[in-house]
Amino acid sequence: MRDITVFSGRANPMLAENICTFLREDCGLNVELGGCSLNTFPDGEFHCKIEDVRGKDVFLIQPTCPPVNDNIMELLIMMDTCRRASAERITVVCPYFGYARQDRKDEGRVPITAKLVANLITQAGADRVLTMDLHAPQIQGFFDVPVDHLYASHVLNKHFIKLGYESDDIVIVSPDEGSIKRSVGHKDRLGGALAIIDKRRNSATEVTAENLIGGPIEGRVAIMFDDMISTAGSICNAARSVKSFGAREIHVAATHGLFSGDAIAKLSKAPIDSVVVTDSIPLPEEKRIPKIKVLTISRLLGEAIRRIHNYQSISRIFNEDINQTDNQLF
């Protein structure tokens, strides 16, 4: 078996450290974070130098979160460095894929930037991509290399199971029509009722919640799941709507906590009891408020990396039989 080497860009080094700890302590692999010097020249250009990777199985951990363009360029440079240093295989571990919301032409004379970024990653030398909760699952088809698409739903569900709510005391609320399938999946795992917010988008930044379908909600614990929280406008409006229908508690969960603009201020004022996100994106200290809880996906990503390295099935991570005996991953 060829050696495994893990590198981290500057986007989320703590996640990379936690992944290496899992691979080392739980999987028995001799994995330390690889030596990688990343610098920015005075003119803004990036420079990268890495340790010897000739013939090695390389994993590059770099979510393309804000600053998106800098992190994408840094990732491309790291890939090119590894390819020119004769790495045997390069796997890009990108838990958050930037530009994922630009996945189609919704009007004339606009780009499909998600496809452009996928092309750049492929051409820079990626042999495989490992990502999580893409905004649109069909983005997997934008890549000309294999893509392993993970879901944080098991991590999020386990958090709410630990809170000990009775299934008939909760209602899973879909914040918009596009999240119905996701909400149904969480309902199947957590139980409870299902409700849907009928959302109206007035502009790129303004959303209003019009009606609520399903339920009942009054006196229950409402839990809303989404793939990401960006400006938090949609989720806060949905929370106010749910509160008006008599929800006793309101909890919000998302894989990617972007918290752009004044999102933290909106969440602080909204009738939301807790906001649960993962560490796919680092949460700066200035954005940490008491109602935000961060769950780690390092064990899940680490297990996927181990299986890719050993040419084992990724989908079996989510097999229920395995979960019953090995659910420490979640």
* Active-site residue set: 199
Centre a 10 Å sphere on the Cβ of residue 146 and count the other Cβ atoms it contains: 14
Helix residue spans in 5-66 (DSSP H): 13-25
Centre a 10 Å sphere on the Cβ of residue 159 and count the other Cβ atoms it contains: 17
Residue of 222, 130, 134 whose CA lies nearest to 175: 222
Angle between helices 180-190 and 153-162 (to 10 degrees): 40
Q: Under DSSP, is residue 13 helix (H, G, I), strand (E, B) or coil?
A: helix
Which residues, including other chains, have CB under 8 Å from residue 131's CB and lie 6 or more apart?
A: 93, 94, 95, 96, 97, 147, 148, 149, 150
Tokens of 60: 């590059």
Pairing of β 57-61 and β 46-50: unpaired
DSSP 35: P
CA-CA distances (angstroms) from residue 81 to 1, 47, 53, 145, 263?
23, 10, 10, 19, 37
Phi/psi of residue 43, each to 5°? -85, 5
Tokens of 108: 């004339």
Strand partners, 33: 6
> Rounded to whole angstroms, how far apart are CA atoms 30 and 44?
35
CB of 101 closer than 8 Å to CB of 204:
no
